[in-house]
Amino acid sequence: MSAKPTLVQPGRAAAIGKATAGPKGRHKGGIGGVATQASSADWKQRYAAALAAYLREGKELQLQRAYELGRAALGEGRGVVELVMEHHQILLRDWTLRPPAEPRQALQRGGAFLREAISAFEMTHRGFGDASAALRRMHEFVEKEAKRIAYALHDGAAQLLAVLHLKLEDLARSLPPAGRSRVRETRQLLDEIEGQLRALAHEIRPAALDDLGLTAALQTLVESFTQRTGIPVHCDFRQSQRWPPEIETTLYRIVQEALNNVRKHARARSVTVAVTGQPDAVFCAIQDDGVGCDPARLFQPGGDGLGLIGIRERVQALGGKLEVRSAHGQGTGIFVRINLEGRSWPLKS
């Protein structure tokens, strides 16, 4: 089974893992609020009563109750493990006090009740999978479009400029020397425009990513960042094999956005970018030593910023894990892990 993505926003849970397992390993896998003590006791009582009634009477209609209680558990933020353990405890307690006359039938009914109760979780899990798949498709589409626009800019516009160069050259020949030097200046401007278009096309979709691979594309990205900002970047790129294209594109976009953020917000003296892999997973970390920020601002819903939310969606669509840490005066770090296991990609060990 693929790992469920865990998204952690600093300030809400300090590290990946704490968000899913609370005290005594309680699994809070649900959506919505978290159960309070009172509502927890109430839910347990209702579950125990409904289960007891079904064990006694075994009516089809009572299974609907199991489903409703499962949904209520989900809505209150209970996890599937918690629900199963609660079910188990109730049966254990009841059967110790009153051993069932027909254990086989009781066991079957208990199983059917539990299956109904957890079906709400199953549906949510599937819905989550569908949403991730849709996101993945959307990102693939966006990347394809980006590639198309980049090539149109790069090749289409470059061709037009080349024709313009020839025409100006022609024109220059028919002009007196003073006019020729004006044309030369104009052609220099054209060269600049061509350079800028080329840079823009590479930014939209770096050809190196397709042709030379992630490491080469990242190196170009980092070099142009340092050239523009003067901020040195320490790189640790270790990629012994090509990764699936959607992973390489995602890692590139993450580093691109993280460096953009460093340029815009961090006032950093230096940055470290690490992209490494193991046979079963890839890792990416971008850390700066800048001013940092209030962690609550990082994924502000309804805020102006889209960059980090975009990163979160991309990682989520690939079933990966993202953690962003930031604090005033202590820089910002983005950490990503994406599993390679279970992907249709020829893995070499």
Ligand X SMILES: Nc1ncnc2c1ncn2[C@@H]1O[C@H](COP(=O)(O)OP(=O)(O)OP(=O)(O)O)[C@@H](O)[C@H]1O
Chain residues in the site for ligand X (CB under 6 A) = 261-262, 264-266, 288, 290-293, 297-298, 304-309, 332
- Largest Cα separation within the chain, whole Å, is 113
From ligand X, Mg ion, none, which one binds at residue 265 (CB under 5 to 8 Å depending on kind)? Answer: ligand X
Q: CB of 24: closest distance to ligand X in angstroms?
A: 34
CA distance 29 to 74: 8
From ligand X, Mg ion, none, which one binds at residue 262 (CB under 5 to 8 Å depending on kind)? Answer: ligand X
On whether the CB atoms of residues 306 and 313 are closer than 8 A, the answer is: no
From ligand X, Mg ion, none, which one binds at residue 292 (CB under 5 to 8 Å depending on kind)? Answer: ligand X
CA distance 166 to 149: 25
Q: CB of 265: closest distance to Mg ion in angstroms?
A: 8
Give the nearer residue to Mg ion in terms of CB position, either 213 or 310: 310
Q: CB of 253: closest distance to Mg ion in angstroms?
A: 12
From ligand X, Mg ion, none, which one binds at residue 206 (CB under 5 to 8 Å depending on kind)? Answer: none
Give the nearer residue to ligand X in terms of CB position, either 82 or 289: 289
Residue whose beta carbon is closest to Mg ion: 307
Q: CB of 345: closest distance to ligand X in angstroms?
A: 29
Give the nearer residue to ligand X in terms of CB position, either 121 or 225: 225
Residue 13: CB atoms within 10 A of its CB come to 16
Give the nearer residue to ligand X in terms of CB position, either 183 or 204: 204
Task: Tell me the CA distances in angstroms from 156 to 93, 99, 135, 160, 314, one per residue in order.
Answer: 75, 81, 30, 7, 30
CA 90 to chain centre: 39
From ligand X, Mg ion, none, which one binds at residue 306 (CB under 5 to 8 Å depending on kind)? Answer: ligand X
Residue whose beta carbon is closest to ligand X: 305
- Going by C-beta distance under 8 Å and a sequence separation of 6 or more, which residues neighbour residue 282? 243, 247, 251, 275, 276, 337, 338, 340
Q: CB of 267: closest distance to ligand X in angstroms?
A: 8
Q: CB of 174: closest distance to ligand X in angstroms?
A: 49
From ligand X, Mg ion, none, which one binds at residue 208 (CB under 5 to 8 Å depending on kind)? Answer: none
Give the nearer residue to ligand X in terms of CB position, either 273 or 293: 293
Task: List strand residue ranges (DSSP E) for the chain, in order.
Answer: 7-8, 233-238, 271-278, 281-288, 321-326, 332-339
Give the nearer residue to ligand X in terms of CB position, either 192 or 304: 304
Q: CB of 312: closest distance to ligand X in angstroms?
A: 9
Q: CB of 336: closest distance to Mg ion in angstroms?
A: 16
Residues of the shown chain interacting with Mg ion in the complex, contacts defined by CB under 5 A: 261, 307
CA distance 223 to 255: 13
Q: Which token pair is 158?
A: 């470059």
Q: Which token pair is 255?
A: 């580093």
Give the nearer residue to Mg ion in terms of CB position, either 244 or 307: 307
Name the percent of the chain in helix, strand, coil, to the closest 5: 60, 10, 25
CA distance 75 to 106: 28
From Mg ion, ligand X, none, which one binds at residue 221 (CB under 5 to 8 Å depending on kind)? Answer: none
On whether the CB atoms of residues 183 and 212 are closer than 8 A, the answer is: no
From ligand X, Mg ion, none, which one binds at residue 222 (CB under 5 to 8 Å depending on kind)? Answer: none
Give the nearer residue to ligand X in terms of CB position, either 290 or 320: 290
Task: Tell me the CA distances in angstroms from 294 to 42, 45, 315, 324, one per residue in order.
Answer: 38, 42, 22, 12
On whether the CB atoms of residues 25 and 340 are closer than 8 A, the answer is: no
